[in-house]
């Protein structure tokens, strides 16, 4: 069986739904996408390992490896990594079927076209054009599950004791600009438990909305503290951010509110640990909890994602800058990089498509970007895995 064309690979990946969602009614397995990638990797001479996630049954990682000919079980090499899941979609806001790759106005539309199923088509197309007999270092392809929710796939692969690549490129949509560092992500619920009662006698209850007002004041002070205390100039937004994103409380105007919940989002900088941030959040609410014992709970909405701290002068960054013609940058969103970096490899984020299209209706890839992106990905694989090291570094 020969590998399909680039567009046929793209079409096939988009056609297989693999939505990750906290809402179990929307959540789907990624097994079909994994099986498809496994078949294509096998056709290119890769050894394929498919592993079900321990924490999320029904979701799967794929790790495919191809060693140089006559050099079995070699270490090092380049790992090309991406996630196989997508976010949910709003059918009413899409102008085409999200699971049918469609072409219009010189754009390729489809859910996952840039975030980030399409990356696998670029990688496999590149490998197809490079002759195995000329390969000098291992090529690894990693396809993970649940990046859009828990990042459980990347967290599980980070524990793989035999996996030791030299370099890792995560193909999130950066318009092929290398990313060497990014912020983390922490979402928390602040839940106030008061005591409901009839509004005509306020002293017989404990109004959770009034307590929440005090908590919000503390959080806004914490927001300013984070802004004034921490800063890294590489980032467009140089300080950690704290966003009050969602609030709900009470059920009727004539009842004392017995429960109120606020959801917040914090984006820590590299160097600001999740543990330190959690302690700051608890400290901000401590005095209120002392005043109203047991009224304030701080709950993680998902496992926090640490910031990714790469080096702007690493060999992989310099190579990616040379190939792309772009200086490496820092970004405010987060990826699987901090987990995959735990494997001990130089790591960057760099892939086709614009982050402005991620998580948007009518997600698409501009077709004029296909050829230059394909050349950069091919050149990167060629430099890392096919050229002699002395030649590649000269």
Number of residues that make up the chain: 394
CA–CA distance, 347 with 169 (Å, rounded to integer): 6
Q: How far is CA 258 from the centre of its chain?
A: 37
CA gap 391, 393 in Å, rounded: 5
Query: How far apart, in whole angstroms, are the C-alpha atoms of residue 60 and residue 197?
Result: 49
**Residues that are catalytic:** 85, 147
First to last CA, the chain: 39
Taking each helix axis as running N to C, give the angle between helix 6-14 and helix 118-129, from 0 to 180 degrees, rounded to the nearest 10.
150
Helices assigned H by DSSP within 1-96: 6-14, 31-43
Alpha helical stretches, state H, the chain: 6-14, 31-43, 118-129, 152-157, 208-229, 274-291, 315-324, 337-340, 370-385, 389-393
The SS3 assignment for 8 reads: helix
Pairing of strands 179-182, 308-309: antiparallel
Contacts of residue 191, Cβ cutoff 8 Å, sequence gap at least 6: 259, 260, 261, 296, 297, 298, 299
Burial of 197 (0-12, 13-18, 19+ CB in 10 A): middle
CA distances from 25 to 19, 29, 152, 285 (A): 10, 12, 19, 34
Q: Where are the beta strands (DSSP E) in the chain?
A: 47-52, 60-66, 78-83, 102-104, 107-109, 139-144, 167-170, 179-182, 186-193, 197-198, 241-249, 255-256, 259-267, 296-300, 308-309, 329-331, 346-349, 364-366
């Amino acid at each position: 069986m020969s590998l399909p064309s680039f567009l046929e690979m793209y079409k096939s990946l988009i056609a297989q739904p693999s939505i990750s969602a906290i809402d179990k009614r929307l959540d789907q397995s990624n097994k079909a996408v994994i099986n498809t990638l496994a078949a294509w990797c096998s056709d290119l001479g890769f050894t394929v390992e498919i592993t079900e996630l321990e924490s999320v049954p029904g979701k799967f990682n794929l790790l495919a490896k191809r060693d140089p000919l006559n050099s079995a079980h070699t270490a090092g090499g380049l790992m090309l990594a991406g996630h196989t899941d997508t976010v949910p979609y709003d059918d009413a806001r899409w102008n085409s079927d999200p699971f049918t790759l469609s072409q219009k106005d010189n754009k390729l539309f489809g859910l996952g076209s840039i975030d980030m199923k399409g990356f696998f088509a670029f990688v496999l197309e590149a490998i197809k054009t490079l002759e195995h007999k000329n390969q000098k270092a291992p090529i690894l392809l990693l396809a993970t599950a649940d990046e859009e929710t828990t990042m459980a796939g990347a967290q599980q692969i980070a524990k793989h004791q035999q996996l030791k690549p030299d370099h890792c490129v995560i193909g999130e949509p950066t318009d092929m600009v290398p990313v060497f560092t990014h912020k983390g992500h922490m979402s928390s619920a602040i839940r106030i438990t008061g005591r409901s009662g009839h509004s005509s006698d306020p002293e017989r209850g404990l109004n959770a909305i009034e307590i929440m007002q005090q908590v919000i004041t503390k959080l806004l002070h914490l927001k300013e503290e984070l802004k004034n205390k921490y800063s890294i100039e590489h980032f467009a937004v140089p300080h950690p951010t704290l966003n009050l994103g969602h609030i709900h409380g009470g059920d009727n105007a004539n009842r004392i509110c017995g429960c109120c919940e606020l959801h917040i989002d914090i984006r820590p900088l590299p160097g600001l640990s999740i543990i330190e941030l959690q302690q700051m959040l608890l400290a901000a609410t401590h005095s209120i909890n002392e005043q109203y014992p047991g009224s304030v709970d701080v709950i993680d909405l998902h496992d926090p994602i640490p910031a990714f701290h790469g080096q702007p002068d690493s060999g992989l960054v310099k190579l990616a800058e040379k190939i792309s013609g772009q200086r490496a940058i820092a970004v405010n969103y987060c990826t699987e990089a901090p987990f995959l970096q735990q494997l001990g490899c130089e790591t960057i984020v760099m892939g086709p498509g614009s982050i402005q299209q991620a998580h948007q209706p009518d997600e698409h890839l501009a077709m004029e970007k296909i050829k230059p992106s394909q050349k950069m990905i091919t050149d990167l694989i060629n430099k890392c895995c096919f050229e002699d090291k002395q030649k590649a570094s000269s």
